[in-house]
Copies of this chain bind each other. A is one copy, B any other.
Amino acid sequence: MTNYLIGIDGGGTSCRAAVASADGRILGRGKAGAANILTDPETALANIGEAARAAFMEAGLDPQGITAAKAIVGVAGHNVGDAVHYVKRRLPFAAADIESDGLIALQGALGNHDGAVAILGTGSIYILRQGETVSYVGGWGFTIGDHGSGARIGHALLQESLLAFDNIHEASAVTDSVLAEFNNEARDVVDFARLAKPGEFGRYAPRVFEGAAAGDPVAVRILKAAALTVDEALDVVVARGCERLCLLGGLAPLYRPWLADRHQALLVEAEADALTGSVAVAAQRFGTQARAGA
């Protein structure tokens, strides 16, 4: 009987799966709904199974074969202990490990090279791999971390809009546009912000990048402060020996021109995506593919 491998890239809006041969060659891909193991583990389990069966079907394989396969499941919230244990015991595979979405993204982006990824999306986190050692810098979520993230940039824009409303800070085209969206009612901005989730703040981040590109002084100030937090975190991974750096996440292409010159020379393009990364980890752990030296 053939030993198939499964890679899962689970996210808050969708879950992707790939089935591969024991040497890591991808045979088929599938997709299903959200896989958030922290907030909705039952739905996550259902969608992980469905995406895996879809991948088997695309590969021309019997979808019931997933129960004999070994899988790497990359998900956000992997480090929240109880949810991981609960989900891991119930996964419909012969064997499986749950890994962070960041680690499988790093494996995809850097392949078997040492180096670091800066994941710059709604949140922000930095992951460094040196040989067998993986270390995390930053992250910690919107409330008290994720500096430079889209959520923090959007939050900063709303905050500057209120400061402009009060004439405490200068107004500009971007703060005017935010206030106009809320009918120039500061109270409406506050009511929105009080209930907004990180993703809702993050939807204002592109406006800051666009405004900064057009020279809007408030947008430039917000973005320089955000880019400084990214550069400071990158300094830490570089100090730990990182010589290869890949920017990932929705803000990665927007951020690149704003980062310090000292980091530009280290930047590389991603080799592959997180789904490919999850298959590669599966092949190293359960298959016949050894991880090459760095």
Q: Which residues of A contact B (CB under 8 A)?
A: 79, 137-138, 140-141, 143-145, 147, 155, 158-159, 162-163, 166-169, 186-187, 189-190, 193-194, 229, 232-233, 235-236, 239
Chain B residues, Cβ within 8 Å of A162:
140, 144-145
Minimum CB distance partner of A192 in chain B: B144
- Extra contacts, 20 of them, besides A137-B168, A145-B162 (Cβ < 8 A), are A137-B166, A137-B167, A138-B166, A140-B186, A140-B189, A141-B190, A141-B194, A144-B155, A144-B158, A144-B159, A144-B162, A144-B189, A144-B190, A144-B194, A145-B159, A147-B163, A166-B236, A167-B236, A168-B229, A168-B236
How far, in whole Å, are A186 and B147 apart by their CA atoms in the complex?
15
Residues of the B chain whose Cβ atoms lie less than 8 Å from the Cβ of A159: 144-145
Chain B residues near A193 (CB-CB < 8 A): 143-144
B190 touching A145 by the CB < 8 A rule? yes
Least Cβ distance of A82 to chain B in Å?
13
Q: In the bound complex, what is the Cα–Cα distance between A235 and B190 (angstroms)? A: 23
Shortest Cβ distance from A239 into B: residue: B167
Contact, CB under 8 Å: B144 / A233: no
Q: Lowest 3 A-B CB distances belong to which pairs?
A: A144-B193, A143-B193, A140-B190
Task: From known contacts A159-B144, A159-B145, infer whether A138 and B189 are also in contact, taking CB-CB under 8 Å.
Answer: no
A169–B190 CA distance with the chains assembled, in angstroms: 30
* Chain B residues with CB below 8 A from A235, complex form: 168
Q: Which of B145, B158, B168, B236 contacts A233 (CB 8 A)?
A: B168
Question: Which chain B residues lie closer than 8 Å to A145 at the CB level?
Answer: 159, 162, 190
Identify 7 residue pairs between A and B in the complex whose beta-carbon atoms are under 8 Å apart, listed by A's number: A138-B168, A141-B194, A144-B194, A167-B239, A168-B229, A168-B233, A168-B236
Q: Is there contact, CB below 8 Å, between B236 and A194?
A: no
Q: A137-B168, A166-B138 are in contact. Are A143 and B236 (CB under 8 A)?
A: no
Give the chain B neighbours of A239 by CB distance below 8 A: 167
Give the chain B neighbours of A143 by CB distance below 8 A. Answer: 190, 193-194
Of A137, A144, A186, A187, the most chain B CB neighbours within 10 A belong to A144
For A136, the closest partner residue in chain B by CB is B166
Complex Cα distance, B163 from A232, in Å, reads: 10
Considering the chains assembled together, what is the distance between the CA atoms of A145 and B143 in angstroms?
A: 14
The distance in angstroms between the C-alpha atoms of A34 and B40, with both chains bound, is: 38
Q: Which residues of chain B are near A189, meaning CB under 8 Å?
A: 140, 144
Inter-chain contact A233/B166, CB cutoff 8 Å: yes
Residues of B within 8 A of A158 (CB): 144
**How long is the Cα–Cα vector from A147 to B235 in the complex, in angstroms?**
29
Q: Which residues from B are CB-within-8-Å of A79?
A: 187
When distances are taken between beta carbons in the complex, the residues of chain B under 8 Å from A140 are 162, 186, 189-190
